[in-house]
Amino acid sequence: MYRADKWTVPPYEGVIADGWLYGVGSLNMKGGVAAMVSAVEALRQADFDLHGEVVVAGVMGETGGGVGVRHLLDLDRDFDLAIVTEPTNLGAATLSVGYVQGWIRLWGELRHFEPYCNPINAAARVLDALGKSYVPLPPGGWMTFETCVELPAYPRLAVRKIVSGQDDCALFFDVRTVPGQNDATVEADLVNLVHQLEPVLTGIRIEVIIPAAPETPNFPAMPALSLDHPLTRAIVQAHTRLHNQPPQIGAGDRIGLASDASHLKAAGIATIEYGPGKHPVWPMVDERIRVDDLAQAAQVLADAIAELCG
Protein backbone atom coordinates (compact mmCIF):
# COMPACT_ATOMS: atom_id res chain seq x y z
CA MET A 1 0.00 0.00 0.00
CA TYR A 2 2.83 2.40 0.81
CA ARG A 3 4.90 1.53 -2.29
CA ALA A 4 8.17 1.70 -0.35
CA ASP A 5 10.17 1.07 -3.54
CA LYS A 6 9.05 4.45 -4.89
CA TRP A 7 10.03 6.52 -1.82
CA THR A 8 12.89 8.96 -2.07
CA VAL A 9 13.59 8.77 1.69
CA PRO A 10 13.65 5.72 3.99
CA PRO A 11 9.97 5.13 4.87
CA TYR A 12 10.57 3.78 8.37
CA GLU A 13 13.35 6.00 9.77
CA GLY A 14 11.55 9.26 10.63
CA VAL A 15 13.75 11.50 8.49
CA ILE A 16 13.46 15.25 9.20
CA ALA A 17 14.40 17.58 6.32
CA ASP A 18 13.45 21.15 5.41
CA GLY A 19 10.92 21.36 8.23
CA TRP A 20 9.15 18.11 7.32
CA LEU A 21 9.05 14.78 9.15
CA TYR A 22 8.96 11.87 6.68
CA GLY A 23 7.79 8.35 7.40
CA VAL A 24 4.97 5.85 7.03
CA GLY A 25 2.11 6.99 9.24
CA SER A 26 3.70 10.36 10.04
CA LEU A 27 0.71 12.22 8.61
CA ASN A 28 -2.14 9.77 8.93
CA MET A 29 -2.30 9.71 11.71
CA LYS A 30 0.63 9.22 14.04
CA GLY A 31 1.19 12.96 13.75
CA GLY A 32 -2.11 13.45 15.55
CA VAL A 33 -1.14 10.89 18.18
CA ALA A 34 2.16 12.69 18.75
CA ALA A 35 0.34 16.02 19.13
CA MET A 36 -2.09 14.74 21.76
CA VAL A 37 0.61 12.90 23.72
CA SER A 38 2.77 16.04 23.68
CA ALA A 39 -0.15 18.21 24.83
CA VAL A 40 -0.92 16.00 27.82
CA GLU A 41 2.76 15.60 28.71
CA ALA A 42 3.20 19.39 28.67
CA LEU A 43 0.33 19.77 31.13
CA ARG A 44 1.75 17.01 33.31
CA GLN A 45 5.21 18.58 33.43
CA ALA A 46 3.64 21.94 34.28
CA ASP A 47 1.80 20.31 37.21
CA PHE A 48 -1.43 21.70 35.82
CA ASP A 49 -4.31 20.98 38.18
CA LEU A 50 -6.91 19.17 36.06
CA HIS A 51 -10.47 18.85 37.28
CA GLY A 52 -11.48 15.62 35.61
CA GLU A 53 -9.70 12.91 33.69
CA VAL A 54 -7.98 13.22 30.32
CA VAL A 55 -7.66 9.94 28.44
CA VAL A 56 -5.16 9.58 25.58
CA ALA A 57 -6.39 6.73 23.38
CA GLY A 58 -4.43 5.56 20.36
CA VAL A 59 -7.14 3.26 19.05
CA MET A 60 -6.70 0.90 16.13
CA GLY A 61 -8.86 -0.28 13.25
CA GLU A 62 -10.66 2.90 12.19
CA THR A 63 -11.05 1.66 8.62
CA GLY A 64 -12.06 -1.75 9.94
CA GLY A 65 -15.38 -0.46 11.22
CA GLY A 66 -13.91 1.55 14.10
CA VAL A 67 -13.11 -1.59 16.08
CA GLY A 68 -10.71 0.26 18.38
CA VAL A 69 -12.98 3.14 19.32
CA ARG A 70 -15.94 0.80 19.73
CA HIS A 71 -13.87 -1.25 22.19
CA LEU A 72 -12.98 1.97 24.01
CA LEU A 73 -16.65 2.82 24.30
CA ASP A 74 -17.37 -0.64 25.71
CA LEU A 75 -15.02 -0.03 28.63
CA ASP A 76 -16.54 0.85 31.97
CA ARG A 77 -15.72 4.57 31.89
CA ASP A 78 -17.59 7.76 31.21
CA PHE A 79 -16.45 10.12 28.47
CA ASP A 80 -17.99 13.59 28.17
CA LEU A 81 -15.95 15.11 25.33
CA ALA A 82 -13.60 13.86 22.62
CA ILE A 83 -11.04 15.39 20.29
CA VAL A 84 -10.11 13.18 17.34
CA THR A 85 -6.73 14.25 15.97
CA GLU A 86 -7.29 13.38 12.33
CA PRO A 87 -5.29 15.51 9.86
CA THR A 88 -7.68 18.47 9.59
CA ASN A 89 -5.00 20.92 8.43
CA LEU A 90 -5.47 22.62 11.83
CA GLY A 91 -9.13 23.18 11.08
CA ALA A 92 -11.98 22.62 13.52
CA ALA A 93 -13.97 19.84 11.86
CA THR A 94 -17.32 19.96 13.60
CA LEU A 95 -18.89 17.32 11.36
CA SER A 96 -17.99 14.76 8.73
CA VAL A 97 -19.80 12.49 6.35
CA GLY A 98 -20.72 8.97 7.32
CA TYR A 99 -20.41 5.98 5.07
CA VAL A 100 -22.51 2.98 4.22
CA GLN A 101 -20.60 0.16 2.56
CA GLY A 102 -21.92 -3.16 1.37
CA TRP A 103 -22.40 -5.52 -1.54
CA ILE A 104 -24.86 -5.84 -4.39
CA ARG A 105 -24.72 -9.52 -5.32
CA LEU A 106 -26.21 -10.97 -8.50
CA TRP A 107 -26.78 -14.64 -9.25
CA GLY A 108 -27.42 -16.22 -12.65
CA GLU A 109 -27.43 -19.70 -14.12
CA LEU A 110 -24.18 -20.81 -15.71
CA ARG A 111 -24.59 -22.59 -19.05
CA HIS A 112 -22.16 -23.68 -21.71
CA PHE A 113 -22.35 -22.85 -25.41
CA GLU A 114 -25.83 -21.33 -25.33
CA PRO A 115 -27.38 -18.01 -24.33
CA TYR A 116 -27.90 -17.52 -20.59
CA CYS A 117 -28.44 -14.81 -17.96
CA ASN A 118 -24.85 -13.79 -17.25
CA PRO A 119 -24.60 -12.02 -13.86
CA ILE A 120 -21.60 -10.05 -15.14
CA ASN A 121 -23.73 -8.53 -17.89
CA ALA A 122 -26.42 -7.84 -15.28
CA ALA A 123 -23.86 -6.15 -13.04
CA ALA A 124 -23.02 -3.79 -15.91
CA ARG A 125 -26.68 -2.72 -15.96
CA VAL A 126 -26.60 -2.08 -12.24
CA LEU A 127 -23.42 -0.02 -12.61
CA ASP A 128 -25.10 2.14 -15.23
CA ALA A 129 -28.08 2.68 -12.93
CA LEU A 130 -25.85 3.68 -9.99
CA GLY A 131 -24.08 6.32 -12.08
CA LYS A 132 -20.52 7.60 -12.20
CA SER A 133 -18.24 7.26 -9.19
CA TYR A 134 -18.65 9.89 -6.46
CA VAL A 135 -20.67 12.25 -8.63
CA PRO A 136 -23.01 14.18 -6.30
CA LEU A 137 -26.40 12.50 -6.13
CA PRO A 138 -29.23 14.94 -6.88
CA PRO A 139 -32.09 15.56 -4.45
CA GLY A 140 -35.24 13.85 -5.66
CA GLY A 141 -33.32 11.13 -7.49
CA TRP A 142 -33.24 7.43 -6.71
CA MET A 143 -31.54 8.03 -3.35
CA THR A 144 -33.63 9.68 -0.63
CA PHE A 145 -32.01 12.24 1.68
CA GLU A 146 -32.33 15.72 3.10
CA THR A 147 -29.71 18.15 1.78
CA CYS A 148 -27.10 19.11 4.39
CA VAL A 149 -25.85 22.68 3.89
CA GLU A 150 -22.61 21.91 5.75
CA LEU A 151 -21.87 19.00 3.39
CA PRO A 152 -22.53 20.44 -0.07
CA ALA A 153 -22.53 18.01 -3.00
CA TYR A 154 -23.14 14.98 -0.77
CA PRO A 155 -24.15 12.14 -0.67
CA ARG A 156 -22.00 10.37 -3.25
CA LEU A 157 -21.56 6.74 -4.27
CA ALA A 158 -18.92 4.64 -5.97
CA VAL A 159 -18.45 0.95 -6.74
CA ARG A 160 -14.92 0.18 -5.58
CA LYS A 161 -14.57 -3.53 -6.20
CA ILE A 162 -16.05 -6.24 -8.44
CA VAL A 163 -15.78 -9.93 -7.57
CA SER A 164 -17.18 -12.57 -9.92
CA GLY A 165 -17.52 -16.33 -9.97
CA GLN A 166 -19.04 -18.68 -12.50
CA ASP A 167 -22.64 -17.95 -11.61
CA ASP A 168 -22.44 -14.80 -9.50
CA CYS A 169 -21.04 -11.28 -9.52
CA ALA A 170 -20.74 -8.94 -6.53
CA LEU A 171 -20.27 -5.16 -6.49
CA PHE A 172 -18.72 -3.58 -3.40
CA PHE A 173 -20.15 -0.08 -2.99
CA ASP A 174 -19.33 2.91 -0.80
CA VAL A 175 -21.88 5.66 -0.10
CA ARG A 176 -20.66 8.85 1.60
CA THR A 177 -23.76 9.86 3.54
CA VAL A 178 -25.24 12.97 5.13
CA PRO A 179 -27.07 13.17 8.47
CA GLY A 180 -30.42 11.39 8.27
CA GLN A 181 -29.11 8.55 6.13
CA ASN A 182 -28.24 5.18 7.61
CA ASP A 183 -27.91 1.51 6.71
CA ALA A 184 -31.68 1.08 6.51
CA THR A 185 -32.37 4.09 4.26
CA VAL A 186 -29.53 3.27 1.85
CA GLU A 187 -30.57 -0.38 1.69
CA ALA A 188 -34.17 0.59 0.94
CA ASP A 189 -33.04 2.94 -1.84
CA LEU A 190 -30.79 0.30 -3.42
CA VAL A 191 -33.43 -2.42 -3.19
CA ASN A 192 -35.90 -0.09 -4.90
CA LEU A 193 -33.37 0.76 -7.60
CA VAL A 194 -32.53 -2.86 -8.47
CA HIS A 195 -36.25 -3.74 -8.33
CA GLN A 196 -36.80 -1.25 -11.16
CA LEU A 197 -34.20 -3.15 -13.21
CA GLU A 198 -35.95 -6.52 -12.90
CA PRO A 199 -37.71 -6.29 -16.31
CA VAL A 200 -34.34 -6.19 -18.08
CA LEU A 201 -32.64 -8.66 -15.76
CA THR A 202 -34.87 -11.69 -16.26
CA GLY A 203 -33.38 -14.77 -14.64
CA ILE A 204 -31.09 -12.80 -12.32
CA ARG A 205 -31.47 -12.83 -8.53
CA ILE A 206 -30.17 -9.75 -6.70
CA GLU A 207 -29.38 -9.22 -3.02
CA VAL A 208 -28.24 -6.05 -1.21
CA ILE A 209 -25.95 -6.82 1.74
CA ILE A 210 -25.34 -4.08 4.35
CA PRO A 211 -22.93 -3.82 6.12
CA ALA A 212 -20.27 -5.48 4.00
CA ALA A 213 -19.44 -7.81 6.92
CA PRO A 214 -20.89 -8.10 10.44
CA GLU A 215 -17.55 -7.22 12.06
CA THR A 216 -17.19 -3.97 10.07
CA PRO A 217 -20.18 -1.75 10.88
CA ASN A 218 -20.65 1.43 8.92
CA PHE A 219 -20.00 4.98 10.10
CA PRO A 220 -23.11 7.03 10.91
CA ALA A 221 -23.34 10.59 9.59
CA MET A 222 -23.93 12.75 12.66
CA PRO A 223 -25.03 16.40 12.93
CA ALA A 224 -22.43 19.11 13.42
CA LEU A 225 -21.21 20.04 16.87
CA SER A 226 -22.65 23.50 17.50
CA LEU A 227 -20.45 26.57 17.32
CA ASP A 228 -21.38 27.57 20.86
CA HIS A 229 -20.57 24.19 22.41
CA PRO A 230 -17.77 24.53 25.01
CA LEU A 231 -15.61 22.05 23.08
CA THR A 232 -15.90 23.98 19.83
CA ARG A 233 -15.26 27.26 21.63
CA ALA A 234 -12.20 25.87 23.41
CA ILE A 235 -10.57 24.65 20.19
CA VAL A 236 -11.44 27.78 18.19
CA GLN A 237 -10.26 30.15 20.94
CA ALA A 238 -7.01 28.21 21.50
CA HIS A 239 -6.26 28.18 17.76
CA THR A 240 -7.12 31.88 17.45
CA ARG A 241 -4.80 32.82 20.33
CA LEU A 242 -1.93 30.99 18.65
CA HIS A 243 -2.51 32.09 15.05
CA ASN A 244 -4.23 35.45 15.54
CA GLN A 245 -7.10 34.23 13.38
CA PRO A 246 -9.78 31.56 13.79
CA PRO A 247 -9.45 28.14 12.16
CA GLN A 248 -11.59 26.89 9.32
CA ILE A 249 -14.77 25.54 10.94
CA GLY A 250 -17.13 22.89 9.58
CA ALA A 251 -16.25 19.97 7.34
CA GLY A 252 -13.29 21.89 5.89
CA ASP A 253 -10.47 19.85 4.38
CA ARG A 254 -12.03 16.71 5.86
CA ILE A 255 -15.11 16.92 3.65
CA GLY A 256 -15.95 13.53 2.21
CA LEU A 257 -13.92 11.68 4.84
CA ALA A 258 -15.39 9.71 7.74
CA SER A 259 -13.68 9.10 11.08
CA ASP A 260 -14.08 7.61 14.55
CA ALA A 261 -15.80 10.86 15.50
CA SER A 262 -18.98 9.31 14.07
CA HIS A 263 -18.97 6.44 16.57
CA LEU A 264 -18.21 8.79 19.45
CA LYS A 265 -21.05 11.15 18.53
CA ALA A 266 -23.41 8.22 18.07
CA ALA A 267 -22.59 7.23 21.67
CA GLY A 268 -23.67 10.68 22.84
CA ILE A 269 -20.17 12.12 23.26
CA ALA A 270 -19.60 15.65 21.98
CA THR A 271 -16.73 15.31 19.51
CA ILE A 272 -14.62 17.53 17.30
CA GLU A 273 -11.75 16.73 14.93
CA TYR A 274 -8.60 18.84 15.14
CA GLY A 275 -5.15 17.74 14.11
CA PRO A 276 -1.99 18.53 12.15
CA GLY A 277 -1.49 17.95 8.45
CA LYS A 278 -3.79 17.66 5.46
CA HIS A 279 -5.24 14.38 4.24
CA PRO A 280 -3.35 13.26 1.11
CA VAL A 281 -4.22 11.38 -2.02
CA TRP A 282 -3.88 7.61 -1.58
CA PRO A 283 -1.76 5.61 -1.95
CA MET A 284 0.94 7.83 -0.48
CA VAL A 285 4.60 8.12 -1.41
CA ASP A 286 7.01 10.13 0.77
CA GLU A 287 4.37 10.61 3.46
CA ARG A 288 5.29 13.66 5.52
CA ILE A 289 4.03 16.25 7.98
CA ARG A 290 5.32 19.68 8.93
CA VAL A 291 7.12 19.70 12.27
CA ASP A 292 5.65 23.15 13.00
CA ASP A 293 2.13 21.73 12.50
CA LEU A 294 2.83 19.05 15.10
CA ALA A 295 3.98 21.66 17.62
CA GLN A 296 1.11 24.04 16.90
CA ALA A 297 -1.49 21.26 17.18
CA ALA A 298 -0.02 20.21 20.52
CA GLN A 299 -0.20 23.80 21.78
CA VAL A 300 -3.84 24.17 20.77
CA LEU A 301 -4.78 20.83 22.32
CA ALA A 302 -3.02 21.66 25.59
CA ASP A 303 -4.67 25.07 25.70
CA ALA A 304 -8.13 23.60 24.99
CA ILE A 305 -7.69 20.90 27.64
CA ALA A 306 -6.65 23.53 30.17
CA GLU A 307 -9.76 25.55 29.33
CA LEU A 308 -12.11 22.58 29.53
CA CYS A 309 -10.59 20.82 32.54
CA GLY A 310 -8.95 23.68 34.43
Question: What are 1-23's pLDDT values in tens digits?
Answer: 568 788 999 999 999 999 999 99
Task: Please report the beta strands in the chain, taking only residues with DSSP state E, as ranges in sequence order.
Answer: 16-17, 20-22, 81-84, 92-93, 98-107, 156-164, 168-177, 205-209, 249-250, 270-273, 288-290
Helices (H), 252-290: 261-266
Distance between CA atoms of residues 132 and 130, nearest Å: 7
Residue 201 sits in the same domain as residue 262: no
pLDDT, one tens digit per residue, over 159-216 is 999 999 889 999 999 999 999 999 999 999 999 999 999 998 988 999 999 999 999 9
Q: Which CATH number do you get for residue 185?
A: 3.30.70.360
Please count the residues of the chain. 310
End residue of a domain, out of 184, 209, 234: 209
- Co-location of 77 and 138 in the same domain: no
Quote the number of domains for the chain.
Answer: 2
Q: Is the peptide bond before 283 cis (omega within 30 degrees of 0)?
A: yes
Residue 134's domain comprises 98-209
The reply to whether 109 falls in a domain is yes
pTM of the model: 0.92
